[in-house]
Amino acid sequence: MSNDAFGDRERAEEAKFKQDQELEFKAAARRNRLLGEWLARQFGMISSEVEGYARDIVMVDFDEPGIEDVIRKVMTDIEKRNADISEANVRAKISEFDRVAHQQISAEYPGPLDSDHRQIGD
């Protein structure tokens, strides 16, 4: 394999890795938004409050890697509101919303993305 071909292959793998990471980030944010929307409805929030609460859940995930920061936040909110939602229920919803988010993101971004996050060819 020539150096040019090796370099092209390496750049392609790097681009694929970057795209996968970006799509994973989008799916995690979507999952957290779905979780926030579900919890807001469980808490009896009015529609104007739902979006803000969902946004808060998305933002809390930036505190640390993984989902545990989100779980701590929502479990604290659940306790404050005396809602009958267990941590097991929350984790099950996270798994469900993770699948939904990945399906939605895959449908929205089925092909490669260019540098400004649009599908190539659009």
Q: Is 76 helix (H, G, I), strand (E, B) or coil?
A: helix
* Residue at token pair 């659940």: 78
- Please name the residues in contact with 56: beta carbons below 8 A apart, sequence gap of 6 or more: 36, 73
Give yes or no for a contact between 38 and 97, defined as CB atoms under 8 angstroms apart. yes
Q: What one-character DSSP code corresponds to residue 58?
A: H
3-state secondary structure 2-37: CHHHHHHHHHHHHHHHHHHHHHHHHHHHHHHHHHHH
Q: Which of 72, 52, 54 is nearest to 63 (CA)?
A: 72
The one-letter code for the residue type at 10 is E
As a residue count, the chain comes to 122
Q: What is the mean pLDDT of each run of 10 residues along the chain (122 residues)?
A: 68 71 91 97 95 96 89 97 97 97 88 54 44
* pLDDT at site 103: 94
User: Residue 122's pLDDT is what?
Assistant: 43
CA dihedral over 73, 77, 82, 84, signed as positive or negative:
negative
Fold classification of 3-108 (topology level): Major Prion Protein (1.10.790)
| pLDDT (0 to 100) of residue 38 | 98
